[in-house]
Amino acid sequence: MEKICGAVRLSPESSTTARLLLPLTRNLSRQHGVVSFNRLVGVRLPHRHLTSLTSLTTHCSPSPSPPVSASVATETSAKVIDGKAIAKQIRDEITEEVSKMKNAIGVTPGLAVILVGDRKDSATYVRNKKKACESVGINSFEVRLPEDCTEQEVLKFISDFNDDPSVHGILVQLPLPSHMNEQNILNAVSIEKDVDGFHPLNIGRLAMRGREPLFVPCTPKGCIELLHRYGINIKGKKAVVIGRSNIVGMPAALLLQREDATISIVHSRTKNPEEFIREADIIISAVGQPNMVRGNWIKPGAVIIDVGINPVEDTKSPRGYRLVGDVCYEEACKVASAITPVPGGVGPMTIAMLLSNTLISAKRIHNFQ
Ligand code: NAP
């Protein structure tokens, strides 16, 4: 299967139907990586979200500056990095391994999700995690608590799951009600079951040479997996990560560094970000700004992993909006050598990585190779 930006070339077995991602404005749903990938579900965008959509038409707006001569290639067609197809491949591999484990030692990996309150979007995320688990044979356990429950009640469930040998991964669905201390609750999850990979010990180990985290955060892990599976060499390359959030940008930069790339991190205070971005052989963008990275910011032949999921107004769409990445796709695919689409790029990988982390956890706990 090979997809080329602009003209799409597909083998018959390729799946090209882009599933509509659940578009969340970042302010409304500050989620951890595992939660973010649950943006993978097709639901109607609630009206309150529509009010904060960035007003854009279906195309990138005109470039504010003239294109640099290096990036005016007009006929180049980047290879499309098909996250949906790779995620399916990974889920198939997980299904096989889960079955092997069950047959060999009678253990089925289990993921527990705690949902507090009655937010519809959170409920949808949890339902989709459950479905994803079922699809690969992983057991899922769900606890739903009312909005007005106490922090102690949540902590009690976490403690029970920490002690439960049939649970190998624990997720607390965010956001939590405002009367709860998120840090207290997340810190209560055993590091051995922290399949989100956000525990400070996991992040600390990720940052240190010679140390291994027990889990790598799902979205950045999915970005690197895409590079690996497309045979893109990282070692010795110049990479730029746009965004430095705890859940995506920062761990993505740490991962690239572990792969021997030389990293620049661009953030909201970076002056002239395009100057850094133009230097990069590999770009990972996790900003949340629709179409921010223009074609003329990109070095010809660069590889682009676009994590951003941004709903923008689209009057031509039956839903009145569509999703775009941080990178202006139609410009970038004329300059880059490979690029992830939005949707259908990084998004599907995040949930596949959650399943992968749960399997890894079960294997480690039961010493199953
Ligand atoms: P976040 O916590 O809001 O972080 C955004 C980062 O971008 C911050 O580090 C911020 O810099 C930086 N930034 C903001 N505006 C910028 C600008 N104009 N120029 C340069 N840097 C800028 O967001 P996040 O949770 O990392 O998510 C980022 C995007 O990825 C969102 O669109 C989100 O929906 C998407 N996402 C997708 C998945 C997936 O599965 N595909 C998973 C998670 C997130 P400062 O640090 O200086 O504020």
Give, for all 369 residues of the chain, the pLDDT tens digit.
567 775 444 333 333 222 223 333 333 333 332 223 232 222 233 333 333 454 444 578 765 544 433 334 445 699 999 999 999 999 999 999 999 999 999 999 999 999 999 998 889 878 988 999 999 999 999 999 999 999 999 999 999 999 999 999 999 988 899 999 988 998 999 999 999 898 889 999 999 999 999 999 999 999 999 999 999 999 999 999 999 999 999 999 999 999 999 999 999 999 999 999 999 999 999 999 999 999 999 999 999 999 999 999 999 999 999 999 999 999 999 999 999 999 999 999 999 999 999 999 999 999 998
Q: At what angle do helices 83-105 and 120-136 cross, to 10 degrees?
A: 60
Per the CB < 8 A criterion, the answer to whether 242 and 277 are in contact is: yes
The b-or-e profile of 356-368 (16+ CB within 10 A means b, else e) is: bbbbbbbbeeeee
> Of 129, 193, 221, 334, which one is the catalytic site residue?
129
Q: Is any ligand 1 atom within 6 A of the Cβ of residue 26? A: yes
What is residue 6's predicted lDDT score, i.e. its pLDDT? 59
What is residue 339's predicted lDDT score, i.e. its pLDDT? 98
Query: Residue 284 pairs with which residues in a beta bridge?
Result: 241, 305
Per the CB < 8 A criterion, the answer to whether 326 and 291 are in contact is: yes
Provide the 3-class DSSP secondary structure of residue 150: coil
Contacts of 298 (CB under 8 A, 6+ apart): 71, 277, 278, 283, 304, 327, 332, 335, 336
User: Token match 């799951």: residue?
Assistant: 161
User: Token match 């499309």: residue?
Assistant: 80
Residue closest via CA to ligand 1's atom 22 equals 268
Residue 173 annotated among the catalytic residues of the structure: yes
- Using the mean position of ligand 1's atoms as its centre, give its distance from the Cα of residue 73 in Å: 29
- Using the mean position of ligand 1's atoms as its centre, give its distance from the Cα of residue 29 in Å: 12
What is residue 202's predicted lDDT score, i.e. its pLDDT? 92
Residue 3 annotated among the catalytic residues of the structure: no
Q: Is any ligand 1 atom within 6 A of the Cβ of residue 175? A: no
User: Token match 């992968």: residue?
Assistant: 356
Show the CA angle centred on residue 63, arms to residues 62 and 65, nearest 5°.
Answer: 140
Q: Is any ligand 1 atom within 6 A of the Cβ of residue 36? A: yes
What is residue 299's predicted lDDT score, i.e. its pLDDT? 98
Query: What atom of ligand 1 comes closest to residue 287's alpha carbon?
Result: 7
Q: Is any ligand 1 atom within 6 A of the Cβ of residue 266? A: yes
Tokens of 350: 């995040």
What is residue 109's predicted lDDT score, i.e. its pLDDT? 98
Domains belonging to the chain, first-starting first, are 42-86+230-351 (3.40.50.720), 108-190+198-215 (3.40.50.10860)
What is residue 19's predicted lDDT score, i.e. its pLDDT? 28
Q: Which of 364, 110, 345, 324 is nearest to 222 (CA)?
A: 345
The b-or-e profile of 144-153 (16+ CB within 10 A means b, else e) is: eeeeebebee
Q: Is any ligand 1 atom within 6 A of the Cβ of residue 310? A: yes
> Of 194, 196, 281, 326, which one is the catalytic site residue?
196
Count of H helices and E strands in the chain? Answer: 12, 11
Residue 82 annotated among the catalytic residues of the structure: no
What is residue 353's predicted lDDT score, i.e. its pLDDT? 97
Containing 331, the helix (H) or strand (E) segment is helix 329-332
- Using the mean position of ligand 1's atoms as its centre, give its distance from the Cα of residue 24 in Å: 12
